[in-house]
Chain A
Amino acid sequence: KAGVTQTPRYLIKTRGQQVTLSCSPISGHRSVSWYQQTPGQGLQFLFEYFSETQRNKGNFPGRFSGRQFSNSRSEMNVSTLELGDSALYLCASSLVGLSTDTQYFGPGTRLTVL
């Protein structure tokens, strides 16, 4: 089976812009979750989607949003970018959920905000 894929792999934006990241889960996986990784804050949970519905949400401002399509692919959007949004954004997929089965991570999208 193909692993979790994320596009684009690298992205450079300027403050105030918005960005959309994409995540394609492993075939058959219905849960997709998103994470932000920075040297200062480490790995932080953003949200989880299951069957096109946001099921769990971390402590991030409303500028961070996401959605999931009927084929389980997911997108994450960040509006009004700030310098502090520079990070590696990881998505992970699993069969049914965060605490139910193994999370498989994608390679990440490296976002740089100038």
Chain B
Amino acid sequence: GENVEQHPSTLSVQEGDSAVIKCTYSDSASNYFPWYKQELGKRPQLIIDIRSNVGEKKDQRIAVTLNKTAKHFSLHITETQPEDSAVYFCAAIGGTGNQFYFGTGTSLTVIP
């Protein structure tokens, strides 16, 4: 089955700096890669997603890049703000068995 690895597990940045979280996947058949933000005690919420036929997608301060050849995708947050502090999960879907595989999460802390 699919294996999604996510790094780093924790990340601290100063307000205004950029944050980058990286994920790798193993199943080349995976075709959909969403990113979720989960604040403490709240439900995961989709912040951006990318499909396998696209290399990059941007939404204001958030961007995702996908390298299908290397089987990795990354989340980029620019001009970080304290409200960006949360746990971020990557996921890969659509591979063998069409399951939903999550990364292990990155706890991002933005220091004011």
Contacts and interface: CB of A to CB of B under 8 A. Distances in A.
Interface in B1-24: 1
Contact of A42 (B46, B94, B97, B105): B105
B36 to A, nearest CB: 8
A33 B34 CA distance: 15
B1 A99 contact: no
B94 to A, nearest CB: 4
A107 B42 CA distance: 7
Contacts of B98: 55-56, 98-99
Contacts of B94: 98-99
Interface residues of B, number: 22
A43 B97 contact: no
A98 B102 contact: no
Interface residues of A, number: 22
A43 B89 contact: yes
A53 B93 CA distance: 19
Contact of B34 (A35, A103, A108): A103
Contact of A56 (B34, B45, B99): B99
Contact of A107 (B43, B97, B103): B43
A3 to B, nearest CB: 9
A81 interface: no
A103 B46 contact: yes
